[in-house]
Structure 1
């Protein structure tokens, strides 16, 4: 191998190593990390506990809830519950990640900064919607609107695992 070629491969290897070191493991975040410091969050927990089955009363609060812009493009892991959107009987490829069970289905949705629209390329099996999971991927600060809710974040997921304390 010529010295120039050796130098090229050495530089390429060092570049790859530095990219891996910089990327590091995903940052573990929690739902409160999705709310900017100092923002007083409007809660729909009272509405959720007094839900009488009339879906006309289901209003998503604070559609203009601010997001944490510094999360854009970050590799993160976030625990939550699944609200399926796309998939089949084997796997889901698109879902909403929410902070508590039943959000958007059995109770009114939380504010958009408390919902993440998730896509996972090859899909993932979800055994039980009652179980919390942890989703890992690249967070985007971007709005998504669907029939169930509006979100303030999106994520391109690369992994899903059962939530562990």
Structure 2
């Protein structure tokens, strides 16, 4: 019995290591539609009219790349932030138009990331106000990951 203990433990360690590696390397397991900024730009933020393709994504799971602009002083764990299409769209320049900003409210805090990210969550076509300008969209965030 003792001669099988060490090989059994080694096999268990290998199985656990492979499972952990796959979870961490694949990113979030999220099956939302991939959305891009051109699609969001088709919303007329003055009249509120959106094309049918964009309306079909309302209240649906999506993933969207962009850059995080935290809306909180706590920089370690961010719950609310604006997602913008470029790193230059921040508080130091005029804000992008509302159809190029997404208000993101995460279900749980995430680390503040300065580079490009993917945001996974449920899209809502609704105007949200923030200290940096209006956003024509809101995502209830499930997860983020660095953009690769």
TM-score, normalisation: structure 1: 0.63
Match of 1:140?
Answer: 124
Secondary structure class of the residue paired with 1:81 = strand
Match of 1:76?
Answer: 62
Deviation at 1:66, TM superposition (A): 4.4
Match of 2:92?
Answer: 106
Match of 2:83?
Answer: 97
Q: Mapping of 1:7-18 within 5 angstroms?
A: none
2:101 aligned with 1:115, yes or no? yes
Note the aligned Cα RMSD (angstroms): 2.1
1:25 to 21, 31, 40: 31
**Structure 1 residues 150 and 125: CA distance shift in structure 2, 3 A:** same
How many residues align? The count is 116
Deviation at 1:70, TM superposition (A): 2.3
> Structure 1 unaligned runs (5+)?
1-23, 40-61
Deviation at 1:33, TM superposition (A): 1.4
Summarize deviations over 1:88-129 as a string: whole Å, max 9, x none: 2421000000001131312211111111000012110024x2
Secondary structure class of the residue paired with 1:126 = coil
Comparing 104-113 and 131-140, the one that deviates more: 104-113
